[in-house]
């Protein structure tokens, strides 16, 4: 069960060949402002996993936050805030935190949070207007999508690219293995063994 309506998270799980069903959570994301950005991302992932899971199901949830220093830039509320976010990020570095929570059928949890530094280049006014007009970032934390048109905004990334996309894939894979998720792995001789 994927406790997220994010098409990017679904795409990443599909690329891995993992079976899943989307069941988006209706968790209220407010009221956690007293926590640090990584704590917020982790707590929201845990709340989402707990809100959709039924006994006997595997559940994966994630939450991504964009933090400019200690200020969290959520999904823009409107075009004005969208434009404001892109202006704030222009020529600066920020941190993307993605927390995840994996629950097994017995209710045990594997959790983690990953942090990646993203640096925007200095943007011209027309570039900001062009990106805002695309509407691409309206449903994304921080108001941008690194995997789409937003790729032209980014000068460099330090850390895991997939954390910025919304799912720290390597960490989640490790958690799935540790939790005993039934991964359909090829036998050694099918995987190109030299034997």
- Distance CA(176)–CA(101), nearest Å, equals 11
Which of the following is catalytic: 63, 78, 125, 160? Answer: 63
The 8-class DSSP code of residue 61 comes to E
Displacement of CA 53 from its chain's centroid (Å): 19
Which tokens in the block code for residue 154? 């980014």
Burial label, 74 (beta-carbon count in 10 A; 0-12, 13-18, 19+): middle
Concerning whether 160 is annotated as a catalytic residue, the answer is no
What are the strands of the beta sheet with 154-158, ordered from one edge? Answer: 71-73, 59-68, 93-103, 109-120, 154-158
| Catalytic site positions | 63
């Amino acid at each position: 069960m994927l406790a997220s309506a994010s098409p990017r998270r679904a795409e990443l799980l599909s690329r891995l060949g993992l079976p899943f069903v989307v069941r988006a959570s209706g968790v209220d994301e407010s009221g956690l402002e007293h926590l640090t950005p990584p704590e917020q991302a982790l707590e929201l992932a845990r709340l989402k996993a707990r809100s959709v899971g039924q006994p006997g199901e595997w559940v994966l949830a994630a939450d991504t936050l964009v933090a400019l220093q200690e200020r969290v830039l959520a999904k823009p509320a409107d075009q004005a805030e969208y434009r404001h976010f892109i202006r704030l990020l222009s020529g600066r570095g920020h941190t993307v935190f993605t927390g995840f929570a994996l629950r097994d059928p017995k209710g045990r949890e594997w959790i983690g949070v990953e942090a990646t530094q993203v640096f925007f280049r200095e943007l011209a006014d027309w570039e900001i207007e062009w990106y805002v007009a695309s509407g691409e970032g309206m449903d994304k934390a921080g108001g941008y999508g690194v995997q789409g048109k937003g790729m032209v905004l980014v000068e460099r990334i330090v850390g895991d690219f997939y954390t910025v996309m919304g799912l720290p894939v390597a960490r989640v894979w490790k958690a799935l293995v540790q939790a005993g998720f039934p991964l359909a792995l090829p036998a050694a001789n099918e995987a190109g063994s030299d034997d």
